[in-house]
């Protein structure tokens, strides 16, 4: 009786400890990627705040290009609300996909604006405009970098979660789904987006 009891107790204890360790690691990894997303969030927000300023500065010169400007503002608002939705509902694949879509649309709209602006040398020369474009470029770089960090963090979470026996613990205690990578469908466009060529 006593040996069986001891074996029983020790087995339970070891399994329990092992399970707890796996669960804690899952929590740590998921916190890590959520924190990494917070980094992107801040930079994206900064970008969305800069775009209205850019539009406002360009308005005076681009009175004939109302449509392009409106498209940019609209895409910006869409992206901002998509970002807010991710913040509110947590990072799941649906909201991330929405954000990526909105970001791509914004990238396309910004690209069009850049082409239009090429035709207005006065606008390009304005000091205000130069400052804004520098800010946007810098922010864009930070987004790219933070996104890379986020995707790395998501990948290590997913890998850990999918391995055996971690998946059993994960499935039982609320780590059922893979976290979604943030991939902008048209990343070429987003790279170009804020680059306003003043040369």
Residues that bind another protein (CB under 8 A): 1-3, 5-6, 9-10, 12-14, 17, 21, 24, 27-28, 31, 34-36, 38-39, 41-43, 45, 137-138, 140-142, 144-146, 148-150, 152-153, 156
Q: What is the Cα 127 distance to its own chain's centre? A: 30
* Class of residue 101 by CB neighbours under 10 A (exposed 0-12, middle 13-18, buried 19+): middle
> What would you report as the CA-atom Rg of the chain, rounded to the nearest whole angstrom?
24
Q: How far is the CB of 186 from another protein (least distance, A)?
A: 16
Nearer to another protein, 93 or 148 (CB): 148
Closest approach of another protein to the CB of residue 111, in Å:
18
d(CA 113, CA 109): 6
Could you tell me the smallest distance in angstroms from the CB atom of residue 129 to another protein?
Answer: 18
Residue 110's closest CA among 40, 43, 199, 50?
50
User: Which one, 122 or 127, has the nearer CB to another protein?
Assistant: 127
Structure tokens at 148: 């890379």
Q: Smaller CB distance to another protein: residue 29 or 75?
A: 29
Query: Which of 21, 168 has the CB closer to another protein?
Result: 21
């Amino acid at each position: 009786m006593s040996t069986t009891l001891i074996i029983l107790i020790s087995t339970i204890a070891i399994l329990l400890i092992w399970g707890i360790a796996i669960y804690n690691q899952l929590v740590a990894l998921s916190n890590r990627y959520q924190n990494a997303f917070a980094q992107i969030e801040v930079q994206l927000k900064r970008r969305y705040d800069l775009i209205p300023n850019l539009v406002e500065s360009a308005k005076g010169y681009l009175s004939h290009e109302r449509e392009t400007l409106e498209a940019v503002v609209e895409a910006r608002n869409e992206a901002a609300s998509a970002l807010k939705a991710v913040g509110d509902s947590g990072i799941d694949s649906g909201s991330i996909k929405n954000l990526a879509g909105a970001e791509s649309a914004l990238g396309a709209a910004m690209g069009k604006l850049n082409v239009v602006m090429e035709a207005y040398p006065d606008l390009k020369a304005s000091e205000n405009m130069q400052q804004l474009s520098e800010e946007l470029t810098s922010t864009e770089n930070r987004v790219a970098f933070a996104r890379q960090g986020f995707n790395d963090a998501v990948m290590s979470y997913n890998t850990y979660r999918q391995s055996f026996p971690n998946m059993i613990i994960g499935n039982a205690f609320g780590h059922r789904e893979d976290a979604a990578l943030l991939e902008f469908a048209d990343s070429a466009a987003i790279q170009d987006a804020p680059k306003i060529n003043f040369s």
